[in-house]
Chains A and B, each alone.
Chain A
Amino acid sequence: MPDLSQVLAAQVPLGWYLILSVILFVIGAAGFLIRRNIITVFMCIELMLNAVNLSFIAFSHKLKMVDGHIYSFFVMVVAAAEAAVGLAIILTVFKNRETLEIDEVSSLKL
């Protein structure tokens, strides 16, 4: 049984990973703009960050440099910190307003 990582590297060209990463990023960005639930919007941001990670890893393989792996760890750590703060902010919003619809959080004048 051949090693899966070797098969993936030998048979899936770099372009496919990058196309997948672009698709994920665009889905995330579009979802951010279209979806109206705060948690979903937040998940879309995470999707965008994961698209970034995917492209880092793919490029890392192509360039034969380990830097990309390290960068993607940086991204994960920052995303975790952001999630901690973000979910806390979403919780306080929910506590004060009892809604997670983004259109209802608009007491400030536009």
Chain B
Amino acid sequence: MSVSFVPSAQELARFAPEMALALGATLVMLGEALWKSGSRSKLAALAFLTLLAAAALAVFAAGDPGPAFSNLLAVDGFSTFFRVLVCAAGMLVVLISTNYLRQEGHDSGEYYALILFSVAGQCLMAASNELIMLFIGLECSSIASYVLAGYLRDDKRNNEAALKYFLLGSFASAFFLYGVAWLWGASGTTNLSELRRLLLDPSSGVSVTVTAAAAALLLVGLAFKVSAAPFQMWAPDVYQGAPAPVAAFLSVGPKAAAFAMFLRILMTTFVPLRGRWEPVLWAVALATMVIGNFAALHQTNVKRLLAYSSIAHAGYILVALTAMSDTGAAAAMFYLAAYTFMNIGAFAVVTYVAGRGEKHVELMDLAGLSRRSPVMAAVLSIFLLSLTGVPLTAGFFGKFYIFKAALDADLVWLAVLGLLNSAVAAYYYLRIIVMMYMQEPSAGAGPLPAPGAGMRWALAASVAGTFVLGVAPSLVLDYATASAPLLR
């Protein structure tokens, strides 16, 4: 195999989104150093435009799909879907962050630079076709998110969130990496397509036992990153302690990218080991749904409640992964798109209600929101109904496709238990809506100030996304269905 060390223009075009994001992040840091302190909003705008450009470059690169850099990257419909998705999540988070940072007195460029670096890592995770590249992308995304989780460094809750996220995240990365080492030792390759070929070929001499053990280590690492049971315990502490916009980011961006990784590894490389994965995934998916939903029932802190709800949603997506079919992969992709809009939207409203110093993040602080700010109460109700899975919202079709994929794959019990779980979830989502509309605001809670422009745009985009995916799901689903089989 002859390898050229000079990248061709074609390869550079396929790697362009990551390069744009890294360049944009560097420019934001330079701007932070060079511009006067009055021009912070310019940095947010620069970050937003970089994310927009990266998404556009990802779409542009999809016009000419194929491998790049000796098959390290694979630009296909699947990677394009997730690249655009994480860039969109980044844009929404930048929009809801500007006002929050100003209010907390920490409005500086490094926040946006960190978001951009993290999104660059996530794009790399979506597009990598090789285990070491996946690891580099994972670490790029994680290390930036550790800092983001503790962004307000004088706040004790932030410190604690960052510490827990960092320790458990690095622990998980070590497991993932050890799995990579053993896979490489057993097969002599880290390329996913090559691994698949070797595993399918009985004469290759690759030990199935060692590969399965290595796959188990990989599964531990991935389960940590998507907050699947029994490795979900970091999520509530991190989402509760981190600044609200960062919690919105962590619950969507890194999770979507980790699921992209999960899907790619599962659907390409480990199809030959399917019999060994399936029972494990079955149990993990069920445990994740049950733990997430039942723990969310008696939470009093809104951020913590949303953290448990996001664990439960990871469980639903794992149901789609357990199906291990093209429809399952497409359902997971659709669900992640729907989840991005509704979860960032819900966290955005929480950010807005929390106020200065995040003093109002208890469930009681949402009581009577319909009187203090009718629009916000209505918007939050839409997101919560979508998270519940009510028809006409994105969440309904997300759940519908996931359970349909599970039934198609003969996972009847998992589908039934999943449906029962969503009924449990309805209780705590609807309870918030009841509190907002039926209860009086607590004493001393006046009308809320008008939201900033960024917040308004982010909420409008999230509401629009929730409804568009709920009314015309085929817009996204057709693309997902077409690109899922390309994974092999």
Contacts and interface: CB of A to CB of B under 8 A. Distances in A.
Nearest to B301: A109
A29 to B, nearest CB: 8
A108 interface: yes
Contacts of B181: 52, 55-56, 59, 71
A89 B150 contact: yes
B170 A71 contact: no
B166 to A, nearest CB: 5
A67 to B, nearest CB: 7
A23 interface: no
B170 A89 contact: no
B188 A106 contact: no
Interface in B370-423: none
Interface in B141-199: 143, 146-147, 150, 153-154, 156-157, 159-163, 166-167, 170-171, 173-175, 177-178, 180-182, 184-185, 188, 190
Contacts of A59: 181, 184-185
User: What DSSP secondary structure best describes chain B's contact surface?
Assistant: helix
A65 interface: yes
B177 A49 contact: yes
Contact of B146 (A41, A49, A85, A109): A85
Interface residues of A, number: 43
Contacts of A75: 177
A51 B241 CA distance: 32
A56 B163 contact: no
B229 to A, nearest CB: 16
Contacts of A93: 159-160, 162-163
B135 interface: yes
Interface string A89-102: 11011001100000
B246 to A, nearest CB: 14
Interface string A53-72: 00110110011010110010
Interface of A: 18, 25, 28-29, 32, 38, 41-42, 45, 48-49, 51-52, 55-56, 58-59, 62-63, 65, 67-68, 71, 74-75, 78, 81-82, 85-86, 88-90, 92-93, 96-97, 105-110
Contacts of B240: 108-109
Given A49-B174, A52-B181, A109 B304 contact: yes
Given A32-B171, A49-B177, A96 B154 contact: yes
10 contacts: A55-B182, A55-B185, A78-B173, A85-B146, A88-B147, A89-B159, A89-B163, A105-B160, A105-B163, A107-B160
Contacts of A62: 185
Given A45-B170, A45-B174, A92-B162, 13 more contacts: A18-B185, A32-B167, A42-B167, A52-B174, A52-B181, A63-B188, A78-B135, A82-B170, A82-B173, A92-B150, A97-B156, A105-B160, A109-B240
